Chain A
Amino acid sequence: MACAASSPAGPIHTQARLWPKIAVVLLVKVVGLTVIWFLFIRGHQVNADAHSTAQAFGLTGRDSAPQSILKEDGHGQ
């Protein structure tokens, strides 16, 4: 059967109405993520080279920063 009948000009032509909605959602999503990045992520930079990693792991000297607060039960959950 020919598929031309699949797009008649009916009053309920929701296929056409769906795409603008999806486009708006995608736009909102991009804007939302950009705002989150701008507010919370943009200004934070973490150096992660060999030296800074060794330092972060407490391998570069005896005066390493205090380690984390111990959990009461010590579980690795």
Chain B
Amino acid sequence: MGSETLVELSRLQFAATAMYHFLFVPLTLGMVWLLLVMESVYVMTGKVIYKDMTRFWGKLFGINFALGVTTGITMEFQFGTNWAYYSHYVGDIFGAPLAIEGLMAFFLESTMIGLFFFGWDRLSRVQHLMVTALMAIGTNLSALWILIANGWMQNPVGAQFNYTTMRMELVDFWAVLFNPDAQAKFVHTVSAGYVTGAVFVLAISSWYLLKGRDVEFAKRSFRIASAFGLASVLSVIVLGDESGYMVGEAQQTKMAAMEAIWETQPAPAPLTIFALPDEARAHNDFAVEIPWVMGVIGTRSISKSIPGIREIKERNRTRIISGMAAVVALERLQSDPHDAAAKEQFERHKADLGFGFLLKRFTARVGEASPEQIQLAVDSTVPRVAPMFWSFHAMVALATLMLLLFLASFWATLKGGCADRRWLLKWALWMIPVPWVACELGWFVAEYGRQPWTIYGVLPTSLSVSTLSVGSLYGSLAGFMGFYTCLLVVEMFLMVKFARLGPGSLGTGRYDNEPAVHGIAGVAVATH
């Protein structure tokens, strides 16, 4: 078991690389479907402006993909380098979806992305459209497998612990595949990506309209982004609600922390939309509540109560005490695998083994843990409430803001006057960082909210880390952050450069900011 500094540094390194990675991912997830919509219109109507739209936005998509794809690979390596005991303990289950994701990402997704960029003059329209569709499917399938792996960390199903191999072993692959937590996470996460792509296209199109350049190109991009974005943001909200329900079912601690529910709420529980959570007093100051709503969201009923942090801690205390018996039995089985009494004791308490492991952070001799040490372990089962509460509520507020933006944009599109509403165009432009902030907050809630576990209820984070030197972790952390920051700077530079150049960067002679090589270049030619 590593020192507290080692654990914190390993967590920081993984969190930092994951958060950097997810600056690139949602744009890829969302842009690819917008490209498919644009190209589908091109194939159906034959209007070349839609081909230009596909190629131009595809270029920004390509910059993002090229810079972002390997930022995720380092995370997979970190499971081996920084989380060796985690990998040993749950690698049987966790490794399978990661391996399938690798196949999806590197074979289907990357191959199709290559064909997308280099196949314009080599494939027929319909063939190229099929490539774009497969690229979209591949991109989203790789996200599916990652989220199946992550969903299993949140809700470990289909596996059991083998004390002779000291690892969790897969007993039901289908349970892992159809883990309801993973499915809810997948649809919520990819929808958030779709919103990111839509805001990106909407914002840059708005900038062109504000500048009065490439107007027809921008208006069409704006229309597609507003319709796609509205559908996506509605999906995010509806599926986020489903995700919240799944969290409530599988991880009541996370639900209680993100909603700052200190005491068990009688059914139907109210929703706290604003409060200042006070950890020391286990109380919310200045709470503003809406009756019934939390009960309906969290339990899908008006008759079930939502357990509060105090009740959850007491339940966890019982499980920790049961887990102590499991750890003691496991220690005896390590000395003598044929000890029948130890086997029997282990079988009775093995469901709480993970909770017994929590005590390892506070004492080497779990079987002799003092009441104070047990209390420390009990307290450790709940993450800090204030960061959870504020992150979750900020994410919801930003999602609401994006819903309003897309409602206004779609309404303006229906009225045919998006280019005339400068306030809307400015609003859309300034909204460009919002979906990224919301995505990062969402991941923070999901991952920080799972603490102190790497695998919820099974394996504590403190037991998962490799026995590395603190110095090497500081060094590699600095290396990764420096390098990833360089990648981000390059991405921003290229994105801004090509966004400024606009569709003129395609060199077709039909757009602004390029020499007219075919006489009077422009939209009139491009749109017929």
Contacts and interface: CB of A to CB of B under 8 A. Distances in A.
Contacts of A8: 507-509, 517-518
Nearest to B117: A19
Contact of B361 (A54, A68, A77): A68
Contact of B466 (A21, A30, A46, A64): A46
Contact of B327 (A18, A59, A60): A59
Q: Secondary structure of the A side of the interface?
A: loop
A26 to B, nearest CB: 6
Interface string A1-32: 10101111011111100100110011001101
A49 to B, nearest CB: 7
Interface of A: 1, 3, 5-8, 10-15, 18, 21-22, 25-26, 29-30, 32-33, 35-36, 39-41, 44, 46, 48-51, 53-54, 56-60, 62, 64-71, 73-77
Contact of A3 (B2, B63, B120, B515): B120
Interface string B85-101: 10111000000000000
Contacts of B483: 32-33, 36
B360 A58 contact: yes
Contact of A22 (B62, B165, B462, B508): B62
Contacts of B81: 41, 44, 46
Interface string B378-403: 01111110010000000000000000
B52 to A, nearest CB: 8
B66 A70 contact: no
Interface string B466-480: 111100100110011
A14 to B, nearest CB: 4
Contact of A68 (B1, B51, B509): B1
B59 to A, nearest CB: 7
Nearest to B118: A19
Listed from nearest, the 5 A-B pairs whose CB atoms lie closest are: A76-B452, A48-B88, A46-B84, A40-B476, A76-B380
B71 to A, nearest CB: 9
Contacts of A41: 77, 81, 476
Contact of A36 (B3, B453, B476, B498): B476
A77 to B, nearest CB: 5
B340 interface: no
A11 B85 contact: no
B203 interface: no
Given A10-B514, A62-B365, 16 more contacts: A1-B46, A5-B518, A6-B506, A11-B515, A18-B62, A25-B487, A33-B483, A40-B472, A44-B472, A48-B87, A50-B167, A71-B380, A76-B451, A76-B452, A77-B384, A77-B452
Contacts of B509: 5, 8, 10
A30 to B, nearest CB: 8
Nearest to B526: A1
